[in-house]
Amino acid sequence: MHTKKKVVVFLLIINTSCNNIIESNLSHKQTLVNFQKELINKEITGSNEIVIFKDDSLFYRHTENTNNKYDKKINNETIFALWSTSKVVTTIGMFILEEKNLIDFNDPVSKYIPSFSNLNCMNIKKQKNADFEDGDHYCLSSDNVYPCKNQMKIIDLMSHRSGFCTPENFYVDAVKADNLEELMEIISKHPLQYEPGTKYLYGVNQSILGRVIEVVSNMQFGEFLDEYLFTPLDMNSTKFYLTKEDKINFQPLFLNTPSIKGFLQDGITSRGNILTYDQNDKTNLGAEGLLTTTSDFMNFCKMLVNNGVYQGKKIISPESIKTMTRKYSEGYPKEDRSYQNQLGFYMGLSVYVLEDPKIMNQGAPKGIYGWGGLQYTEFWIDPKNSMFVIFMTRSQSYKGILDDLIRTVYKVVN
For 175-234, write each residue's pLDDT tens digit: 899 999 999 999 999 999 999 999 999 999 999 999 999 999 999 999 999 999 999 999
Local structure of 209: helix, strand or coil: helix
Q: Which ranges constitute the DSSP H helices of 42-107?
A: 86-99
The answer to whether domain 32-93+237-413 has CATH 3.40.50.620 is no
Looking at residue 21, what is its pLDDT?
40
Strand partners, 179: 282
Give yes or no for residue 42 having a pLDDT over 70: yes
Span 322-344, pLDDT tens digits: 999 999 999 988 888 887 778 99
Looking at residue 40, what is its pLDDT?
98
Looking at residue 362, what is its pLDDT?
96
Local structure of 329: helix, strand or coil: strand
DSSP 145: E
CATH 3.40.710.10 residue ranges in the chain? 32-93+237-413
Looking at residue 12, what is its pLDDT?
52
Distances (CA, A) of 346 to 155, 170, 210, 213, 354: 16, 27, 24, 26, 7
Per-residue pLDDT band for 2 (boundaries 50, 70, 90) equals: low
Looking at residue 60, what is its pLDDT?
98
How confident is the prediction for the chain on average, in pLDDT? 90
Span 108-144, pLDDT tens digits: 999 999 999 999 999 887 654 444 454 455 688 888 9
